[in-house]
Amino acid sequence: MDKLIITAAITGAATIPSLSPYLPMTPEEIANSAIEAAQAGAAIVHIHARRPEDGFPSSNPDHFREILTKIKAKSNVVICVTTGGSAMMTVEERAAVVPAFKPEMCSFNMGSINFALHSALRYLKEFKYPWEKAYLEMSKDFVFKNTFKDFDYLCEITQANQTKPELEIYDVGHLYNLDHLVSEGKMKPPLHLQFVMGVLGAIRGTPEDLTYLTTKAQVLFGADNFTWSVIGVGAAEINLSTMAIHMGGHVRVGLEDNIYIGKGKLAKSNAELVEKIVKLAGMLGREVASPNEARTILGLKGPDKVNF
């Protein structure tokens, strides 16, 4: 069994600033939070950018450049940049970071879903910034578009820049989409799958759903042709992380996916969430991978070949 790769998702479009005062927003805050998560045991950090003045999701390369260069200057951690951005961006806007910075890894969403965040309005009555309430309300009609045309575009730019795709699987149909790309030679094993579980509009974060996804991936691709990790959104995070550690998969945690360290208790940092997984891995007898060990497991090109 490979050592456990922990990914820390530092900040993301699905988490609005009013949900937690601990969410990093400026490039400096995001970079510092990523560095702290790496020091706590994360081998990979997953990076979104925000407008520093109000925390709105950003695809501005200048915002990314400051984050990426600050992280690299102080840490050997693997940097995985988003090509997901937000449902309000075009795929060209979302993916502009790949040719610009040639990162070791990037996210690659494997299908369209209804990405619904509006349920947060039930308990969130005050907002830090004017855009947040409208953003949540609009999500009732959000379609996070990831079409076969988008897949072709992302396949081309990831291959051209030697960037390893982290394949985001929000539902079982996304595995079949990936199988189609593999059959056409557009995506080549070994694959790295990231099961995103618990988003309203996609697969739930239940134990049987995780075992189904891993079993179906083995049927489609063969057990030796992929690695996998799991994201448990919200309350599902620690339960699914425990399963993944035991099953030989890998784990993503972080304030993008879950803002709580325990029931009703806000996590004060991404590092705090990473530390919890490190302790859990120790209890379950699974060693945690370093960034260089993660590079070997995933077959990454190395930090000397990025453009930042």
Give the model confidence (pLDDT) of 52-109 as tens digits: 999 999 999 999 999 999 999 999 999 999 999 888 899 999 999 999 999 999 999 9
- Structure tokens given for 169: 């699987």
In this structure, what token pair is assigned to residue 42?
Answer: 């994360």
Report the C-alpha gap between 249 and 284 in whole angstroms: 13
pTM: 0.97
Cis peptide before 190 (omega within 30 of 0): yes
What pLDDT score was predicted for residue 86?
Answer: 84
Within the chain, which residues score under 70 in pLDDT?
A: none
* pLDDT at 123 (0 to 100): 87
Q: Cβ(196)–Cβ(240) under 8 Å? A: no
Res 125: pLDDT: 86
AA letter at 36: E
Tell me how far apart the alpha carbons of residues 92 and 195 are, in angstroms, rounded to a whole number.
24
> According to the model, what pLDDT value does residue 85 have?
86
Q: Is 251 strand, coil or helix?
A: strand
CB neighbours of residue 160 within 10 Å: 11
